Amino acid sequence: MRKNSGWRLRSDHLRSSNYNAFFDKRLEFEECCEGENTVGALEDTIGRVQADLSGKSRLESSRDQVIQTMNGAHNNGVNGVEGETKVNGIAKSPRPSTKDQKMQTSFGSSAASTTNGHSRPGIHSRKESNPLAPPFIVSAPGKTIVYGEHAVVHGKAAMAAAISLRSYLLCTTLSKSKRTVTMRFSDIGLDHTWSIPDLPWRAFQQPGRKKKYYDMVTTLDQELVEAMQPHIAAVSADLKLERRKVHQGAASAFLYLFLSLGSESSQACIYAMRSTIPIGAGLGSSASVSVCIATALLLQCRALSGPHPDQMDREAEEQLERINRWAFVGELAIHGNPSGVDNTVATNGHAVLFQRKDYSKPPAVSILRDFPELPLLLIDTRQAKSTAAEVAKVGQLKATHPAVTGHVFDAIDAITRSAHDVVTGDEPDSLESITHLGELMTVNHGLLTSLGVSHPRLERLRYLVDQSGVGWTKLTGAGGGGCAITLLKPSASDTPGGRSNGDAAHHTGSALQELERQLEEEGFEKFETTLGGDGVGVLYPAVIDDEEIDQEMFLSAEGREGVEELVGGGRDREAWKYWRP
């Protein structure tokens, strides 16, 4: 009989408080074998590790418990579907892999083993003795279109980037006696609970309809959508139509993903959402929510490894692509026919260049991971807008003056391409590069104004920023109201060579303060954010500065500032982990 074969627990990694060991190390399957020494060695090792836990802190114990509960987890391979996503202009084409399928079969088995004629319960038959997984939080950013609005509708390129306004999803596992799943999105007043056994599992697990986590889903199965309807119709049924549609849209996205990725034996859980992204402002709030839900469910069904600092680039890219594909399914449930750009930005962060020449096919998307993180003012005019009306207005202008509008679209496309050249160049965050990007924003706004999609409130805002001299401003999204973005000029202290001009820096600061006063006085809403930051991130467990974030703390945090102060990356930047290929 071979020693140390079969399942082997790496107790040295379990003892380590290092995040990588805590989060990513699993029970490793080395080879299949028979004999009682395999199981006995495992039990002995677990006993030694449990003894070691007695002197550990509450946080370390919680982390070790996570590893014990994840003894079926594994390191996933390629998604199993080819794609066309590009990273910094280089095509990435994941290849089909049978590793995921084999591992899922192996790790999903709960059959009992036989040793010397006596049956022994399988590893997974001991689930009732495992401790509950600790609460964890998933976060994803919103997005803004930086260049290319409207022209992109007519086949030209556009660039969108992540903003540091984010959504946060706290997942709290309940005891095994509970058989419910709850959505609690307090910012929109949504609170609904379903009984897990009562959900339409039979429909979702029909042969040919049951999806694996590595599958690519590009359309919703209408039979499955219909099977969900009785469970969606009960959500916020007493509210007025407009609010009810928002609640039921979020519920549809969640429930379709939960039924696709989970099973009737899924653990009871409360999913509590908070968001700092304004809703209905064209900033990708629904995509941010979909990314959070998809990531949480993929983590819970053990279809993701990481994130951790030592993760290989290829593996990190594959994990992000898996999240992105399922987030797109959530967007399908909410919007019906999304472009896929918003969820791609919310998943990967940084920025993307996208173009859709043929609406019968998906857009071509390049992920710009080297996009610099830049200071930004996001300003809401508080002027209601209609995206459909503004798009139709430009369409009518094109029909009436095709040659003129064609030249405008070509000019906007040239602006987007020029910006792409800068952010993929050698020094995208240099003073010269940032100035170039700002000037392109100014020209882009002028061209959009010529198409008739600006608004007096947007023009007033642009005038105030120009007068202050603090940055470059353009509308973002469809126009006709809504939001504008201002790329702030670098302060004198950030100039090359490290020399600071105190008087100039003070002047810039006072000008910005005066602008903020004027914006507030005239009814604009301002958000200080950054452009081009990280994508989806995980706080696992939900502990910051040795303080566990529970449901009460999370849901009672006041406003956007309260949420960011409680769980934002600024409080303990090292606690949050991101997939960073």
428: domain CATH number?
A: 3.30.70.890
Condensed to tens digits (0 to 9), the pLDDT of residues 131-150 reads: 678 999 999 999 999 999 99
Active-site residues, by number, are 342
What integer pLDDT is reported at residue 556 of this predicted model? 94
Range of the domain at 449: 374-491+500-531
Residue 286 lies in a domain: yes
State whether 45 and 145 are in the same domain. no
Q: Are the C-beta atoms of 274 and 167 separated by less than 8 Å?
A: yes
Confirm whether 108 is domain-assigned: no
In a domain, 541, yes or no: no
541 prior amide bond cis, ω within 30: yes
Reading the block at residue 339, the tokens are 């472009």
CB contact set of 47 (below 8 Å; sequence gap of 6+):
none
The answer on 400 and 290 residing in a single domain is no
Which pLDDT belongs to residue 58? 44
pLDDT at 287: 95
Residues 469, 511 contacting (CB under 8 angstroms): yes
Residue 113 maps to a domain: no
Q: What is the CATH number of the domain that holds 247?
A: 3.30.230.10
- Can you give the pLDDT at residue 508? 59
Residues 265 and 160 in one domain: yes
Alpha-carbon span 281 to 122, nearest angstrom = 52
Q: 62-67: which pairs have CB atoms within 8 A and are 24 or more residues apart?
A: 62/134, 62/541, 62/543, 63/17, 63/22, 63/541, 64/14, 64/22, 65/131, 65/133, 65/134, 66/22, 66/23, 66/133, 66/134, 66/540, 66/541, 67/14, 67/22, 67/25, 67/26
Q: Report CA Rg, the chain.
A: 26
pLDDT at position 212: 84
Please tell me the pTM assigned to this model.
0.75
In a domain? residue 123 = no
Residue segments in the chain with a per-residue pLDDT below the cut of 70: 1-131, 492-508
Residues 279 and 149 both lie in one domain: yes
Of the residues 73, 92, 127, the one at which a domain ends: 73
Residue 106 corresponds to which tokens in the numbers above?
Answer: 């192996």
Closest CA to 371 of 144, 160, 152: 160
Q: What is the pLDDT of residue 12?
A: 39
- Distance between CA atoms of residues 453 and 446, nearest Å: 10
Domain's final residue, options 73, 92, 122: 73
Residues 26 and 171 both lie in one domain: no
Give the pLDDT score at 101.
41
Q: Is residue 46 part of a domain?
A: yes
Strand 180-185 to 269-275 pairing: parallel
Separation CA 72–CA 104 (nearest Å):
9
Q: Rounded to whole angstroms, how far apart are CA atoms 282 and 433?
A: 27
Q: Are 86 and 420 in contact (CB under 8 A)?
A: no
- Say whether both 179 and 44 belong to one domain: no
Indicate whether 209 and 272 sit together in one domain: yes
My answer on whether 565 and 446 are in the same domain is no
Q: Are residues 169 and 219 in the same domain?
A: yes
Handedness of CA 248, 251, 256, 259 (dihedral sign): negative
Residue 148: closest CA among 341, 291, 330: 341
| Residue 272 sits in the same domain as residue 399 | no
The pLDDT tens digits for 440-458 are 999 999 999 999 999 999 9
Question: Is residue 334 domain-shared with residue 400, that is, in the same domain?
Answer: no
Question: Is residue 207 domain-shared with residue 336, that is, in the same domain?
Answer: yes
Among the listed residues 131, 110, 205, 208, the one whose alpha carbon sits nearest the alpha carbon of residue 174: 131
Instruction: Provide the number of structural domains found in the chain.
Output: 3
Local structure of residue 402 (DSSP, 8 states)? H
Q: Would residue 521 count as lying in a domain?
A: yes
Q: Does residue 109 lie within any of the structural domains? A: no
Burial 350-362 (b: 16+ CB within 10 A, else e): bbbbbbbeeeeeb
